[in-house]
Amino acid sequence: MKTALIIGSTGLIGGHLTQKLINHPAYSKVKALVRKPLSFQHPKLEQIIVDFDHLDTSLVVADDIFCCLGTTMKQAGSKEAFYKVDFTYPFEIAKAALKNGARQYFIVTAMGANANSVFYYNRVKGEIERSLTDLHFPTLVVFQPSLLLGERKESRAGEGMASVIMKGLDFLIPAKYKAIKGETVANAMITIAQRGHKGKKIVTSAEMQSFASITPITL
């Protein structure tokens, strides 16, 4: 069996993914790099309290790495702080993981990620995709969801309004632009992780929608 390591386990996608990882028979251990303890415990879950600005890279050891880190400009407070969360931390962890023998790296970016975008958010998402590609992981899978649906710990008023509008107009919206549940993204991540894909793969929001109703695995 494998060991998984997740960063961003307290977020919308990461919360669902952590639960799915600890209940999946492919993994004997799940490591979560966190700033403070999670609100639950599990025999398979190892919570590792870290300072991401001064990370001990020897802690980044696992077969499969799942990155669900992400913030907004409002939450971060500045472009520099946003860049740390959405580029620096995922990239430094990827470098350490690869050096320590990880084989697969899975990351959530966003639909519209483009290193040449005029929009800062999309540009940073594109830059992390490009930099991870240059590391040449045996397996790199990038998940590009559209607007995310689900209960967050923090309020995002703009997303809330957008999700209401998109739900109402769902029948008019092309598949790749439809809002998607955070749990559906988590389903796609854990399912694709078991397929042994080689090289780089980009998973679009439309493709992720097909994982909306997979049968949950429990122990």
* Beta carbons of 109 and 128 less than 8 angstroms apart: yes
Contact 110, 121 (CB under 8 A): yes
121 as an active site residue: the answer is yes
Q: Give the number of C-alpha atoms closer than 13 A to the C-alpha of residue 42, restricted to the C-beta side.
A: 20
Is there a catalytic annotation at residue 2?
no
Contacts of 157 (CB under 8 A, 6+ apart): none
- Token digits for 95? 């470098």
Look at phi and psi of residue 79 and say left if phi exceeds 0, alpha if psi is from -120 to 50, else beta. alpha
What whole-number distance in Å separates Cα of residue 142 and Cα of residue 137?
Answer: 12
User: Annotated catalytic residue: which of 2, 83, 121, 200?
Assistant: 121
Rounded Cα distance, 39 and 27, in Å: 21
| CA–CA dist 44, 22 (Å, integer) | 6
Q: Which of 44, 84, 125, 178 is catalytic?
A: 125
Q: How far are the Cα atoms of 68, 171, 178 from residue 181, in angstroms, in the given order? A: 14, 16, 10
Whether the CB-CB separation of 9 and 48 falls below 8 Å is answered with no
Mind telling me the catalytic residues?
121, 125
